Structure 1
Amino acid sequence: MVSLLRTIRNLRRAGFKEWWRQMQYIGDAKAGTYIGADQFGNRYFENRNGEEEIPGRHRWVDFAQHEYHASQVPPEWHSWIQHIRKEPPSQDTVMQNLTPPWQAPYTESLTGTRGAYRPYNTAVPKIKAWDPKIAARS
């Protein structure tokens, strides 16, 4: 539950425009330190002040797109948000050196969209749909 004092404090820190945007998108007012951005334009934040945030919710992502979903977060940023890695990818030298140069760039999941993969079938169907023959009347 969000307290009124915390909401007012974050409204003053972030400004009215950003506060309103956060309330519309994530339903919570948050203010924190900007950590970095990814190739999709998503911005990542962290609030290290422990008593203001619920434990485990002090890192968050501000999605660039209005229609967003979890697959728009690249794996390296996901590991930082989920506390698998301590340092964000922009500051972690191990993460920067481990990414192989041959790896394809990350793309979001297109499942459920027009760009989703659809296999095609080359086999002849076992059941053929009925096609009515219309005869001309004389």
Structure 2
Amino acid sequence: MGFLSSIFTWWNGATWGTSLYTRRFGGKMGEDQWGNVYFESKKPDRMGVTRRWVIYKGSNDASRVPPEWHSWLHGQAADVPDKALPPARPWQQEPVPNLTGTHQAYRPPGALEAGGLRPASTGDYEAWSPDQA
């Protein structure tokens, strides 16, 4: 990416202005398993609230924020997930980003992308007609 794209394209990562704002007013709080970096403002605003934000590694997609960091970003957890949350349970699965629009997206049986073959009709369906009242 060139210099101009880092100024104007917000969908490919942090813009130049966001990077400057982060360096000046933010402090790094942590990083998740996907490489996203989380920040918190150094000083609270006039209402006493500290601002929290994320700089994504790669494209900006909110579904790439794990649940524990999502709760921290929205102020549901006072401390970062490493300190505030208990360790993960053995039955918990890793979060998965939104796969819509990719080749890994779920396609039900009968979908055109999955081959378009639907199961045969069972004969128990009777179409509605306005003459049948």
Structure 1 stretches of 4+ with a deviation exceeding 3 A read 19-28, 53-57
Asked if 1:63 is matched to 2:56, the reply is yes
Q: 1:37 aligns with which of 16, 31, 34?
A: 31
Structure 2: how far apart are the matches of 1:124 and 1:40? 43
Query: Is 1:123 the equivalent of 2:119?
Result: yes
2:102 is the alignment partner of 1:113: yes
Q: Which consecutive residues of structure 2, in runs of 5 or more, have no partner in the other structure?
A: 1-5, 8-12, 111-117, 122-133
Task: Decide whether the 8 Å contact of 1:22 with 1:28 is kept in 2.
Answer: no
Structure 2 counterpart SS, 1:91 = helix
Q: Deviations over 1:29-85 (max 9, x none)?
A: 23311111001000001113124x8976711101001x2211000000000000011
1:110 corresponds to which letter in structure 2? L
Q: Which moved more, 1:53-62 or 1:75-84?
A: 53-62
Contact 2:63 2:97 in 1 (8 A): yes
**DSSP-derived class of the 1:46 partner:** strand
- Tell me the percent identity: 33
The alignment's C-alpha RMSD in Å is 3.0
After superposition, residues 1-138 of structure 1 pair within 5 angstroms as 22-24=14-16, 26=18, 29-30=21-22, 31-51=25-45, 58-65=51-58, 67-92=59-84, 95-97=85-87, 99-121=88-110, 122-124=118-120
Distance (whole Å) between structure 2 residues aligned to residue 89 and residue 49 of structure 1? 21
CA distance, structure 2, for counterparts of residue 79 and residue 105 of structure 1? 16
State TM-score, norm by structure 2.
0.63
Inter-partner Cα distance in structure 2 for 1:109 and 1:118: 14
Q: Tell me, yes or no, if the aligned pair for 2:14 and 2:56 is still in contact at 8 Å.
A: no
Q: How many residues align?
A: 102
Unmatched 5+ stretches in structure 1? 1-18, 126-138
TM-aligned CA distance change 1:57 to 1:71, over 3 Å: farther
Distance (Å, rounded) in 1 between the aligned partners of 2:50 and 2:19:
13
TM-score of the two chains, using structure 1 as the length reference = 0.61
